[in-house]
Amino acid sequence: MPIQRRHLLKTLAATALAAPLAAPAIAQTAPQITWRLSSSFPANLDLLYGGATSFAQYVKEASDGRFQIQIYAPDEIVPALSNLDAVQAGKVDACHTTLAYFWGKDPTFAIPTGLPFGMNARMTNAWFYEGGGNDLVNEFLAPYSAFALPVGNTGAQMGGWFVNPIHSLAEMKGLRIRCGGLTGSLLERLGAKPDNSPMADIRGHLANHELDGVEFVSPYDDEKLDLAKVAGHYYYPGWWQPSSAQHIVMNLAKWQGLPKAYQAMVQNAAAQANLAVQARYDARNPAALRRIVTQGTKLHDFPADITDAAYKAALEIYKNASASNPKFKKMLDAYMTFRDDQYLWWQVCEYTYDNFLIRQRAKESG
Amino acid sequence: MPIQRRHLLKTLAATALAAPLAAPAIAQTAPQITWRLSSSFPANLDLLYGGATSFAQYVKEASDGRFQIQIYAPDEIVPALSNLDAVQAGKVDACHTTLAYFWGKDPTFAIPTGLPFGMNARMTNAWFYEGGGNDLVNEFLAPYSAFALPVGNTGAQMGGWFVNPIHSLAEMKGLRIRCGGLTGSLLERLGAKPDNSPMADIRGHLANHELDGVEFVSPYDDEKLDLAKVAGHYYYPGWWQPSSAQHIVMNLAKWQGLPKAYQAMVQNAAAQANLAVQARYDARNPAALRRIVTQGTKLHDFPADITDAAYKAALEIYKNASASNPKFKKMLDAYMTFRDDQYLWWQVCEYTYDNFLIRQRAKESG
């Protein structure tokens, strides 16, 4: 072996001996990780489902492909409504859902998603990030071995599709309305009959008059239901969902075990997804609404006595739940105190400005 | 040398020979980078200034300290209004600013920040991220060798502080009002005299009646001006700033030269800062407004003839600027088309819901 080559080998060997000290340091801060994330939303609801795919993409890009999050549709690993159990058991690393889906376990789950007569979407974000909301949500989720971050919002939703127009509270009596969770309790107090039929059956049920109405999301998603011909009366606003937030819910130990840089990437990516999903709904809803109306669907606002009665019913539900559930009371009180403060300020600039512009545009268009 | 040790050395040497191929790959994707970012905002405006410090912190954490962005206050490297020139010349890597500060170069700069009678903050984000807004802004900025991302918004601003109440458009005539950029042109058309005094002199000028009014931001920032005793009439809303976005403006070549993972971190961090700054304003403004009113300041909305005249004046300004400036026309048309669509949808759910809750709370409080 020529002397030069031997020297080179020695040097390389010394480098190699040093390497085991350095390499793990890099490996620790930027390990290759693959997570499984189960979605509670069907892929054809592309904006909701897309909150998770965008989130995963942002994390993948920021980590240079080292942190991969694989998205599974409902039932690929677990059913949509078993996602929280699966996260808690570590069967999946994370899920993408609206926390309200789990209100049957505890009504407190409904609050972070958005409450009837609660805050609008921007206020909800102020509460999450700067009003202690995210901390309260995660304190509540800790016993479920879960840690959640907001990753999207639909904004205020529509009030749903009805076979016949509704002229007063009296006409709500007996109406069979497909709706979810807390909204069912609310509509029940107005005399309606909440229904849980699978979404796939809705159109048929409305056509056969087995159902009188259905509440879903907002124009962009609702358009896909193709309900114009079977339920041509479209009501607004969905006071039961003035904000509907989605969350990434991670197994707490998995979250805590992430390198700090990956935790930062997850937080940044979740924030970007939160902005992106809201922006996608906002950007697409106007054209969808225009198409819906052009096809002959009639737009109505709810009669005042219905909204007033719903408001009273919501207060009763909150009072009852607060009396029997200290966790609900704690989160509700924080949420409602923040809401009242937000509307105090909102009515001064945001609302007054929106009001002027909406009136001005109405004048201009005739 | 025992055979076993020689074998080990050979193995290590082989590993070491492979290493030079792998190591630079890591160095390329995660290099140590330090950027200098010059702020256009004084540090005592903690929410505005904080948009940049939060952005830098998010990037630092996600990059595990490899990508550091150092923030410099105005005049530390360059004056606030020279930041764009400094970015273009590569004197700093980036700046944090409102693009409207540079409207003297071209009025098109005013649009991304927010236009009089333009979109509210949420609509503006929908335009930026999903309506082609960010792409249009960066197409416009390319000749300035700059690339920008939104990193915050104040939301709709207040209309400012006045020494005396204003009862009608006629009373605007001759009023000396401290204000910025496009707002000055607007108020001039209403008969007022825009003023550019440094903020530090404002209180004295109002006390001496050398100034009649000043427009600034919203309650949390405005409270720091301590104007209650010299200009106790506080007007809303600031229709000239229904949204006021801040941007991180990067030198284009520096942006393009970043590793893809760092570009992703910057985009994610900017989005989180965008959400955070808005959330901070929203969370802090209600208490600040309450303190301002408690100290005796009178709240007023602008008389309708003033707002109507301002609306007409804004349309004239846009018409004139569009006639002489194709870049302005291109961005304005895109922005206003998007605005009209947004308000079409906004008035259905968001506005109707806010309207109900604001009226309901007014009823309850007496």
Residues of chain A with Cβ-Cβ distance to B347 below 8 Å are: 354, 358
User: Residue A227 and residue A298: Cα distance in Å, rounded?
Assistant: 12
Average pLDDT of the segment spanning B183-194: 95
Closest Cβ opposite residue B12 in set A16, A158, A356: A16
Cβ contact, residue pair A156, B350, below 8 Å: yes
Question: pLDDT per residue over B22-79, tens digit each?
Answer: 443 444 568 999 999 999 999 999 999 999 999 999 999 999 999 999 999 999 999 9
Average pLDDT of the segment spanning B88-94: 98
Reduce the DSSP state of residue A16 to 3 states and report it: helix
Task: Measure in Å the smallest separation between the Cα of A241 and chain B Cα atoms.
Answer: 10
Average pLDDT of the segment spanning B278-292: 98
User: Residue B325 and residue B105: Cα distance in Å, rounded?
Assistant: 12
| A342, amino acid identity | Q
Contact B37, B52 (CB under 8 A): yes
CA dihedral B197, B199, B201, B203 (to 10 degrees): 120
To the nearest whole number, what is the mean pLDDT of chain A?
Answer: 92
Tell me what pLDDT residue A28 has.
55
Please calculate the CA angle B276-B279-B282 and round it to the nearest 5 degrees: 155
User: Residue B229 and residue A295: Cα distance in Å, rounded?
Assistant: 58
To the nearest whole number, what is the mean pLDDT of chain B?
Answer: 92
Reading the block at residue A345, the tokens are 């300020």
Domain assignments of chain B as residue spans, ordered by start? 31-153+244-283
Reading the block at residue A95, the tokens are 């899920």
The string of DSSP codes covering A201-249 is GHHHHHHTTS-SEE--S-HHHHGGG--TTT--EEEE--TT-S--EEEEE
Cβ contact, residue pair B352, A242, below 8 Å: no
Question: pLDDT per residue over B45-56, tens digit each?
Answer: 999 999 999 999
Average pLDDT of the segment spanning B144-162: 98
Task: Measure in Å the smallest separation between the Cα of B79 and chain A Cα atoms.
Answer: 31
Q: What residue in B sits closest to A238 (Cα-Cα)?
A: B349
Q: What distances in angstroms separate CA B125 from CA A280, B120, B189, B262, one per listed residue?
A: 10, 9, 30, 22
Cβ contact, residue pair B278, A126, below 8 Å: yes
Reading the block at residue B293, the tokens are 């009113």
Reduce the DSSP state of residue A72 to 3 states and report it: strand
Closest Cβ opposite residue B130 in set A280, A342, A360: A280
Closest Cβ opposite residue A265 in set B62, B283, B352: B62
Best A8, A21, A262, A353 residue to mutate vs chain B (most B CBs within 10 Å): A353
Average pLDDT of the segment spanning B313-342: 98
The string of DSSP codes covering A330-354 is HHHHHHHHHHHHHHHHHTTTHHHHH
Contact A166, A268 (CB under 8 A): no
Strand partners, B161: B214, B234
Tell me what pLDDT residue A99 has.
98
Tell me what pLDDT residue A13 has.
41
User: Residue B311 and residue B195: Cα distance in Å, rounded?
Assistant: 21
Reduce the secondary structure of chain B to three states and give it as a string: CCHHHHHHHHHHHHHHHHHHHHHHHHHHHCCCEEEEEEECCCCCCHHHHHHHHHHHHHHHHHCCCCEEEEEECCCCCCCHHHHHHHHHCCCCCEEEECHHHHCCCCHHHHHHHCCCCCCCHHHHHHHHHHCCHHHHHHHHHHHHCEEEEEEEECCCCCCEEECCCCCCHHHHCCCEEECCHHHHHHHHHCCCEEECCCHHHHHHHHHCCCCCEECCCCHHHHHHHCCCCCCCEEEECCCCCCCCEEEEEEEHHHHHHCCHHHHHHHHHHHHHHHHHHHHHHHHHHHHHHHHHHHCCCEEEECCHHHHHHHHHHHHHHHHHHHHHCHHHHHHHHHHHHHHHHHHHHHCCCHHHHHHHHHHHHHHHCC
Cβ contact, residue pair B356, A239, below 8 Å: yes
The interface predicted TM-score of the complex, written ipTM, equals 0.92
| pLDDT tens over chain A, length 366 residues | 444 544 444 444 444 444 444 443 444 568 999 999 999 999 999 999 999 999 999 999 999 999 999 999 999 999 999 999 999 999 999 999 999 999 999 999 999 999 999 999 999 999 999 999 999 999 999 999 999 999 999 999 999 999 999 999 999 999 999 998 889 999 999 999 999 998 889 999 999 999 999 999 999 999 999 999 999 999 999 999 999 999 999 999 999 999 999 999 999 999 999 999 999 999 999 999 999 999 999 999 999 999 999 999 999 999 999 999 999 999 999 999 999 999 999 999 999 999 999 999 999 886
* Residues in contact with B104: Cβ distance below 8 Å, sequence separation at least 6, in sequence order: B181
| B232, amino acid identity | G
Cβ contact, residue pair A130, B276, below 8 Å: yes
Strand partners, B253: none
Reading the block at residue B62, the tokens are 């996600």
**Interior/surface letters A174-197, b for 16+ CB within 10 angstroms, e for the rest:** ebbbbbbbbbbbbbebbebebbee
Average pLDDT of the segment spanning B312-337: 98
Dihedral pair phi/psi, residue A154, rounded to 5°: -85, -15
Q: What residue in B sits closest to A28 (Cα-Cα)?
A: B64
Q: What residue in A sits closest to B343 (Cα-Cα)?
A: A358
Burial of A68 from C-beta contacts in 10 A (0-12 / 13-18 / 19+): middle
Reading the block at residue A161, the tokens are 């599709």
Tell me what pLDDT residue B29 has.
67
Tell me what pLDDT residue A332 has.
98
Give the number of other CB atoms < 10 A from CB of residue A60: 18
User: Residue B169 and residue B163: Cα distance in Å, rounded?
Assistant: 16
Whether residue B20 has pLDDT greater than 60: no
Reading the block at residue A62, the tokens are 């920021």
Strands of the sheet with A94-97, listed across from one edge = A67-72, A33-39, A94-97, A245-251, A146-153
Q: What residue in B sits closest to A64 (Cα-Cα)?
A: B261
What kind of architecture, by CATH, is found in domain A31-153+244-283?
A: 3-Layer(aba) Sandwich (3.40)
Tell me whether strands B193-195 and B176-178 are parallel, antiparallel or unpaired. parallel
Task: Measure in Å the smallest separation between the Cα of A263 and chain B Cα atoms.
Answer: 8
User: Residue A291 and residue A285: Cα distance in Å, rounded?
Assistant: 10
Question: Can you give the C-alpha Rg of chain A in angstroms?
Answer: 25
Residues of chain B with Cβ-Cβ distance to A315 below 8 Å are: none
What is the maximum span of chain A, computed from C-alpha positions, in angstroms?
Answer: 101
Whether residue B15 has pLDDT greater than 50: no
User: Residue B291 and residue B220: Cα distance in Å, rounded?
Assistant: 10
Tell me what pLDDT residue A199 has.
86
Closest Cβ opposite residue B349 in set A156, A343, A355: A156
Average pLDDT of the segment spanning B242-261: 98
Residues of chain B with Cβ-Cβ distance to A239 below 8 Å are: 353, 356
Question: pLDDT per residue over A96-135, tens digit each?
Answer: 999 999 999 999 999 999 999 999 999 999 999 999 999 9
* Residues in contact with A247: Cβ distance below 8 Å, sequence separation at least 6, in sequence order: A96, A97, A98, A99, A112, A113, A137, A148, A149, A150, A151
Reduce the DSSP state of residue A113 to 3 states and report it: helix
Contact B121, B178 (CB under 8 A): no
Q: What residue in A sits closest to B16 (Cα-Cα)?
A: A16
Q: What distances in angstroms separate CA A348 from CA A19, B114, B255, B280, B321, one per listed residue?
A: 63, 19, 40, 17, 31
Q: Which helix (H) or strand (E) holds A152?
A: strand A146-153
Q: What is the DSSP letter of A66?
A: S
> Of residues B315 and A199, which shows the higher confidence score?
B315
Whether residue B8 has pLDDT greater than 60: no
Reading the block at residue B213, the tokens are 């009014």
Give the number of other CB atoms < 10 A from CB of residue B202: 23
Q: From the centroid of its chain, how far is CA A148?
A: 11
| B356, amino acid identity | F
